C-alpha cells in the first residue's frame, strides 16, 4: 500500500480506518471528518473529490473490515461537510452505502445502516431525491434476519419519516406507488413496515391521502389476517384513521366512497371468514353525506352479515347486530336506495332457520317500507 494510492489519505489513517476494531475505525473517521472540514474551509475541492472517491473504493472492497471503514469514512465526510456542502455530494456519498445493504455480512449491513443514518441526517431533504431507493432498502431491512440490522433500520426509518412529514409538497403519489407494490406481502415484518408508513401519512393534516384509499384499502384488510397480533393491532389503528378521513370537513379533500364500498363488499364476502369479521368490525361514517353515498351498496351488504346474527359466535353476533342497526339507520335518510335488489336479498333469507336472522331481515324491511321511505326507486 503506497501513500500515493490512497492520497489524500495517509497510510496510517487508511490502516486505522480498515482495522477490525470499531474503536480504531471510529478514531480514523474523526480524522477524516476534520480533513473534510478543512478542505471546505480552504476551498480545496480537488482533494475533497479524491477523498470521497477513495472512500467509495474502500466501501465496495472485497474485505469486510475495509468495507466497514469505507462506510464510516463516508459518513464522517458528510458530517465534516455539513448540510450546505454535503448536498452537492449527496449521490456520491449515498450510492456506495446503498450497495452495502446487499452484503452477505450482517455487520456490514448494520454499519451501512449507521452510515446512511448519519449521511441522511446531514443532507436531510436532499435524501428524498433518492426516496425510491431509500424506501426499498428500508422495506427489505424490516425483515432482515439479523436483529441488530433491524434495530438499526428502525432508527433510519424514523429519520426518513421525519423528513418526509416535514416536506409539505412531498409527492404522495410516489409513496403510494411504492406501498401498492408491496402491500400484499405476507411477511409480518414487511407488513408492519407498510402499515407504519400508511399510519404516518394519515397523521399529517396537509397530506391529501384520501384519494388513494381505493388503491390500498384491500391490502390493508389483508393485513388483518396476519398471524402477528402487533400487525393486526396496527392495521386496525390505520383502518380507524382511514375511517376518520372519510368524514368530510371544511377545506379537506373528497374521497371516492363508492370505490371503497366495493372493496368492503368484496371483503365481506370473503370465503375465509376474515372478510366478514373485518367488515362487521367497521363502523360506518357518521356524516350523512358520506353515508348517502353508500346506499347503493345496501343489497350486497345484507348477504354476508345477517346470517351471522345466528352464528353462535358472540363477538360476531354483536358486530353483525351493530352493523344491522347502522344500516337500518342509514335507510332512514331521505335519499334513494335500490329497493328491489334489497328486497330480493331479504326474501332470500326470510325463512332462515334462526329467529335472529329473520328478525334482522324484518327490521331492514320495516325501515325500507316506512312512510318516509316509500317512493324510493
Per-residue model confidence (pLDDT) at position 248: 61
Mean pLDDT of 44-51: 96
Q: In this structure, what C-alpha cell is assigned to residue 2?
A: 503506497
Q: Give buried/exposed letters for 328-362 (b at 16+ CB in 10 A, else e).
A: bebbeeebebebeebbebbeeeeebeeebbbbbbe
Residue recorded with cell 348477504: 303
How far apart are the C-alpha atoms of 59 and 78, rounded to whole Å? 15
Per-residue model confidence (pLDDT) at position 377: 45
Per-residue model confidence (pLDDT) at position 210: 87
**Residue 8: cis peptide before it, omega within 30 degrees of 0:** yes
Q: Is the pLDDT of residue 366 over 50?
A: no
- Percentage of the chain beyond pLDDT 70 is 65
CB 324 within 8 A of CB 285: no
How far apart are the C-alpha atoms of 319 and 306, rounded to whole Å? 10
Min mean pLDDT across 128-142, 149-163, 229-243 is at: 229-243
CB 152 within 8 A of CB 138: no
Distances (CA, A) of 111 to 65, 104, 119, 133: 11, 13, 12, 18
How far apart are the C-alpha atoms of 261 and 346, rounded to whole Å? 20
Per-residue model confidence (pLDDT) at position 364: 45
pTM score: 0.78
How far apart are the C-alpha atoms of 292 and 303, rounded to whole Å? 20
Q: How confident is the model at residue 361 (pLDDT cuts 50, 70, 90)?
A: very low
Q: How confident is the model at residue 324 (pLDDT cuts 50, 70, 90)?
A: low
Q: How confident is the model at residue 5 (pLDDT cuts 50, 70, 90)?
A: confident
Tens digits of residue pLDDT in 277-315: 544 444 445 455 555 555 445 555 554 555 554 455 555
CB 183 within 8 A of CB 220: yes
Q: In this structure, what C-alpha cell is assigned to residue 356?
A: 335472529
Per-residue model confidence (pLDDT) at position 46: 96
Q: What is the biggest distance separating any 2 CA atoms in the chain, rounded to whole angstroms?
A: 96
Tens digits of residue pLDDT in 235-276: 999 988 988 887 666 555 666 666 766 666 666 555 444 544
Q: Give buried/exposed letters for 280-290 (b at 16+ CB in 10 A, else e).
A: bebebbeeeeb
- Pick 342 or 5 by higher pLDDT: 5
Torsion-angle region of 251 (φ positive above 0: left; ψ -120 to 50: alpha; else: beta): left
Amino acid at each position: 500500500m503506497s501513500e500515493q494510492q490512497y492520497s489524500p489519505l495517509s497510510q496510517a489513517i487508511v490502516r486505522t480506518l480498515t482495522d477490525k476494531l470499531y474503536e480504531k475505525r471510529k478514531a480514523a473517521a474523526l480524522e477524516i471528518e476534520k480533513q473534510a472540514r478543512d478542505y471546505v474551509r480552504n476551498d480545496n475541492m480537488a482533494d475533497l473529490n479524491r477523498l470521497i472517491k477513495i472512500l467509495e473504493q474502500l466501501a465496495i472492497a472485497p474485505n469486510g473490515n475495509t468495507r466497514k471503514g469505507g462506510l464510516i469514512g463516508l459518513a464522517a465526510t458528510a458530517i465534516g461537510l455539513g448540510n450546505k456542502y454535503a448536498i452537492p455530494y449527496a449521490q456520491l456519498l449515498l450510492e456506495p452505502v446503498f450497495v452495502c445493504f446487499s452484503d452477505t455480512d450482517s455487520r456490514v449491513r448494520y454499519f451501512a445502516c449507521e452510515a446512511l443514518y448519519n449521511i441522511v441526517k446531514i443532507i436531510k431533504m436532499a435524501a428524498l431525491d433518492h426516496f425510491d431507493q431509500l424506501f426499498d432498502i428500508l422495506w427489505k431491512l424490516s425483515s432482515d434476519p439479523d436483529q441488530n440490522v433491524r434495530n438499526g433500520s428502525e432508527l433510519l426509518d424514523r429519520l426518513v419519516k421525519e423528513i418526509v412529514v416535514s416536506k409539505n409538497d412531498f409527492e404522495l403519489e410516489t409513496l403510494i406507488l411504492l406501498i401498492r407494490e408491496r402491500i400484499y406481502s405476507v411477511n409480518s415484518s414487511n407488513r408492519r413496515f407498510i402499515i407504519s408508513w400508511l399510519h404516518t401519512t394519515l397523521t399529517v393534516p396537509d397530506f391529501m391521502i384520501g384519494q388513494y384509499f381505493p388503491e390500498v384499502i384491500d391490502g390493508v384488510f389483508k393485513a388483518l389476517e396476519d398471524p402477528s397480533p402487533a400487525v393486526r393491532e396496527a392495521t386496525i389503528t390505520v383502518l380507524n384513521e382511514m375511517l376518520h378521513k372519510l368524514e368530510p370537513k371544511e377545506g379537506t379533500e373528497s374521497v371516492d366512497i363508492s370505490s371503497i364500498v366495493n372493496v368492503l363488499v368484496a371483503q365481506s364476502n370473503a370465503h375465509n371468514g376474515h372478510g366478514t369479521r373485518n367488515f362487521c368490525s367497521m363502523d360506518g361514517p357518521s356524516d350523512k353525506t358520506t353515508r348517502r353515498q353508500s346506499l347503493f351498496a345496501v343489497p350486497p351488504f345484507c348477504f354476508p352479515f345477517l346470517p351471522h346474527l345466528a352464528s353462535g359466535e358472540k363477538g360476531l353476533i354483536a358486530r353483525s347486530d351493530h352493523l344491522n342497526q347502522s344500516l337500518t339507520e342509514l335507510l332512514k335518510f331521505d335519499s334513494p336506495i335500490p329497493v328491489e335488489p334489497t328486497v330480493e336479498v331479504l326474501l332470500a333469507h326470510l325463512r332462515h332457520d334462526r329467529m335472529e336472522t329473520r328478525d334482522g331481515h324484518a327490521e331492514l324491511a320495516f325501515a325500507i317500507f316506512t312512510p318516509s321511505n316509500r317512493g324510493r326507486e
